[in-house]
Amino acid sequence: MQVPPPFEYQRAGTVDEAIALLDRHGPEARLLAGGHSLLPMMKLRLARPETLIDINGLSELDYIRRDGDEIAIGAMTRHASVLASALLAEHYHIFVEAERVIADPLVRNRGTVGGSICHADPSEDLSAVFAALRGNAVIRSARGSRTVALRDFHVGPYETVVGAGEMLTEVRVPIRTRTGSAFEKVERRAGDWSIAAAGAFVQLDGDMVADVGIGITAVGAEQFTCVEAEEALRGRAASDEAVAAAASSCAAGCRPSADQRGPEDYKRHLVGVLVARVLHRSIASARGGVA
Ligand SMILES: Cc1cc2nc3c(=O)[nH]c(=O)nc-3n(C[C@H](O)[C@H](O)[C@H](O)COP(=O)(O)OP(=O)(O)OC[C@H]3O[C@@H](n4cnc5c(N)ncnc54)[C@H](O)[C@@H]3O)c2cc1C
């Protein structure tokens, strides 16, 4: 049985306490949210934090609520709560579709929004959702609070802009009118990580694409997005041709690696198919049809 190296355990009761503990224990301290990514890394000795700061008691960060023209999601919100949220389902069906295929109920009951995006696994599904929706991350430290676009959040695989003494407290997504969204993933078996997955929202003005966001995961896309494809679609008629061109652009622009989940060309092909599907379904949903 694999066991982690020894570590000190601290439990925070509030965000302020968690930040004070981060400051006191320095860069070798790590926050413990659901533990579904960090603990396996520790058991494999790929992570060796000297101190774990358990933030599972921070109920103040467990919420999904409307705040003006945005939806705010607390960092300690569990996957299961995202899946069950009527507010998110009403505005962005992409969350329901992504969460249904993230792991299994055991992981979804424990894993958190904050832990997911801070772990920064290049195959993580919610990162593609937030990239598509162009959400923002709220990061707090003893010095105050700063907001970072989620498209600038990931510095590289397993690395984010959250620095020493800082913690992610909230993710915010803008509410848009006349918008449809969707997510599709191909996995080897139910509950597995993506071979490739894509998510999108489309906002229509008449039959023109007023705005669009595309997120893809597990295929080496910078910041989980396809910016060129979005730019080509924005301001154009929401036609089959425009969708096909955007899907091809995403497939050409991503950088998948061959691994046990499949060769590079197969993953690239999947990206094209999945992006086309989510764009078509988002457009249908924005038009008021069935997505
Ligand atoms: C069997 C299994 C299958 C899975 N399948 C999928 C899948 O299909 N798709 C998918 O997307 N994910 C999948 N996951 C990952 C799952 O979603 C995890 O819950 C998630 O990656 C980590 O969330 P956590 O709350 O457990 O974070 P933790 O493991 O507690 O923490 C992860 C990292 O984030 C840091 N952190 C946590 N919270 C904060 C914060 N508020 N501020 C700053 N840093 C923070 C921690 O210090 C740590 O470095 C799977 C996990 C397992 C175990």
Domain boundaries, the chain: 8-54, 62-174, 179-286
Answer for the pair 165, 141: CB distance below 8 angstroms, yes or no: yes
204 lines ligand 1 (CB under 6 A): no
Locate all alpha helices (DSSP H) within 49-104, ordered by sequence.
79-84, 86-91, 93-100
Name residue, tokens 């409307």: 66
Name residue, tokens 């992570």: 47
Please choose from 119, 124, 153 the residue to mutate so as to test ligand 1's pocket, defined by most ligand atoms within 8 A of CB: 119
The rounded distance, in Å, linking the Cα atoms of 250 and 81 is 31
62-174, CATH topology level: 3.30.465
The rounded distance, in Å, linking the Cα atoms of 205 and 274 is 24
Q: What is the CATH number of domain 179-286?
A: 3.30.390.50
Atom of ligand 1 nearest to the CA of 121: 21
pLDDT of residue 291: 47
Strands (E) across 76-207 are located at 136-141, 144-149, 154-156, 159-160, 167-174, 179-187, 194-205
Token pair listed for 182:
């969707």
Report whether CATH 3.30.1330.10 matches the domain 8-54: no
Residue bearing the CA closest to ligand 1, atom 38: 115
pLDDT of residue 2: 82
37 lines ligand 1 (CB under 6 A): yes
The two beta strands, 167-174 and 70-74, are antiparallel
124 lines ligand 1 (CB under 6 A): yes
Residue bearing the CA closest to ligand 1, atom 9: 102
In sign, the C-alpha dihedral spanning 82, 83, 87, 90 is positive
Do the domains at 8-54 and 62-174 have one common CATH topology? no
Residue 32 is inside which H or E element, if any? strand 29-32
57 lines ligand 1 (CB under 6 A): no
Phi-psi region of 110 (alpha: psi -120 to 50; beta: other; left: phi over 0): alpha
- For every residue of the chain, DSSP letters joined together read ---PPP-EEEE-SSHHHHHHHHHHHGGGEEEESS-TTHHHHHHTTS---SEEEE-TT-GGG--EEEETTEEEEETT-BHHHHHH-HHHHHH-HHHHHHHHTSS-HHHHHH-BHHHHHHHT-TT-HHHHHHHHHT-EEEEEETTEEEEEEGGGTEEETTEES--TT-EEEEEEEE--SSEEEEEEEEESSTTPPEEEEEEEEEEEETTEEEEEEEEEESS--GGGB-HHHHHHHTTSB--HHHHHHHHHHHHHH-----BTTB-HHHHHHHHHHHHHHHHHHHHHHHTTS--
Nearest to 175 by CA among 62, 98, 64, 288: 64
Q: Which amino acid is at 268?
A: R
Residue bearing the CA closest to ligand 1, atom 14: 103
170 lines ligand 1 (CB under 6 A): no
75 lines ligand 1 (CB under 6 A): yes
Please choose from 38, 61, 166, 167 the residue to mutate so as to test ligand 1's pocket, defined by most ligand atoms within 8 A of CB: 38
The rounded distance, in Å, linking the Cα atoms of 122 and 55 is 24
10 lines ligand 1 (CB under 6 A): no
122 lines ligand 1 (CB under 6 A): no
Ligand 1 centroid from CA 256, angstroms: 22
102 lines ligand 1 (CB under 6 A): yes
pLDDT of residue 100: 97
83 lines ligand 1 (CB under 6 A): no
162 lines ligand 1 (CB under 6 A): yes
Angle between the N-to-C axes of helices 240-253 and 264-286, in degrees from 0 to 180, rounded to the nearest 10: 150
**What is the number of residues in the chain?**
291
What string of pLDDT tens digits covers the 291 residues of the chain?
688 999 999 999 999 999 999 999 999 999 999 999 999 999 999 999 999 999 999 999 999 999 999 999 999 999 999 999 999 999 999 999 999 999 999 999 999 999 999 999 999 999 999 999 999 999 999 999 999 999 999 999 999 999 999 999 999 999 999 999 999 999 999 989 999 999 999 999 999 999 999 999 999 999 999 999 999 999 999 999 999 999 999 999 999 999 999 999 999 999 999 999 999 999 999 999 544
Please choose from 37, 161, 183 the residue to mutate so as to test ligand 1's pocket, defined by most ligand atoms within 8 A of CB: 37
pTM value is: 0.96
Atom of ligand 1 nearest to the CA of 123: 11
